[in-house]
Amino acid sequence: MRIICLLLLLLAGFSSAQAQDKIYRKNGKLVEAQVLEIGTDEIKYKVFGQNDGPIYVLERDRISKIVYANGRTEKFEEGLSLTDPERYAGQAKQAIKFDFLGPLIGYTQIGYEKSTGVGRGYEATLAIIGAGKNQRVDFYDGNNYRLEKRNQFGLAASFGYKFSKLPTFLFSRNTRFTHLMQGSYLKPVVYLGNYSENRLAYKANQQYTLERQNITFGAIQAELGKQWVFGEKILLDTYFGLGYGFDNKERDSYYYDDGSAFNYLNARGGRSPGISVTWGIKLGLLLKDKKKEQE
């Protein structure tokens, strides 16, 4: 009987020794535990063999894997994935944007942006050149100094595809994710437009006059920017772009060359085609899908 009892105790002890969970931490430490609960941000456990002991909490991002008593292994990601669309469920995926600096330069630009997936989206804009500050042309006509206006007027459009990098923000022990439309981005973009404006032309004997010119311009750019979303309603977008531009614009006759040109939405350096530069600040309003809200 004693032998049977000893064997039963040994078997119970062996089973108990095997019925433990092993938590492998990223710092190399091993925790022999009884896992109680696995949440989205943390796990709860007791130290193995201390059933009456305290419950401990450990953040998921500190764990590499757990080997359970039944032999099953659960591995944890190196970092919580930002590419899972489910993390952004319910967020607005569209926005109407307004070029903040445009009216001060001489145009008004309205844009539409839509996210097509995590880290991807497109943006299209339409600009009215002339819906803004009327640029001045100051010159001497041989008798008097004259203060005239460019009176620019025309249309321009752009289309670009955005590749975004989404950041992670950490608060306390929980990991909170950014908005789907927030983050740094690279946007290949094409500009195309046509407008007319007054140009200063040289007549003769140091006399100048205004003449109307028609300008067609375009540019292929790569724009780098960063976009922030505030309260699921407002966004702020700042960007700078560099690429190639072309146009048929002639500079005012005060200049000795027909080099650089300013086409309101972009600036070209050197003779056409030349280096094209864009920059700006945009304010936006997020638009939610009404159908999904009703559901």
- The DSSP code sequence of 173-189 is TEEEEPPTT-EEEEEEE
What is the C-alpha R_g of the chain?
32
**Residue with the larger pLDDT of the pair 29 and 112:** 112
User: What number of H helices and E strands is found in the chain?
Assistant: 3, 20
CA atoms within 13 A on the CB side of 32: 9
Range of lowest pLDDT (72-76, 110-114, 218-222) = 72-76
Q: What is the pLDDT of residues 118-135, one digit of tens each?
A: 889 999 999 999 999 998
CA–CA gap between residue 239 and residue 262 (Å, rounded): 18
The pLDDT assigned to 252 comes to 78
Fold match between 20-75 and 85-294? Answer: no
Point out which residues pair with 75 in neighbouring strands. 65
Check if CATH label 2.40.160 holds for domain 85-294. yes
Residue with the two structure tokens 């696995």: 38
Check if CATH label 3.30.1360.20 holds for domain 20-75. no
Mean pLDDT of the 81-88 span = 73
Using CA atoms, how far residue 22 sits from 72, 194, 273, in Å, is 11, 69, 66
The pLDDT assigned to 77 comes to 65
Sequence ranges of the domains in the chain: 20-75, 85-294
Record the tokens describing residue 101, joined without a space: 């600096």
The pLDDT assigned to 287 comes to 94
The pLDDT assigned to 8 comes to 47
CA–CA gap between residue 284 and residue 287 (Å, rounded): 10
Residue 292 predicted with pLDDT over 70: no
The pLDDT assigned to 59 comes to 84
User: Do residues 193 and 217 touch, judged by C-beta distance below 8 A?
Assistant: yes
Residue 256 predicted with pLDDT over 80: no
Record the tokens describing residue 138, joined without a space: 């100051």
Give 16's pLDDT tier (boundaries 50, 70, 90): very low
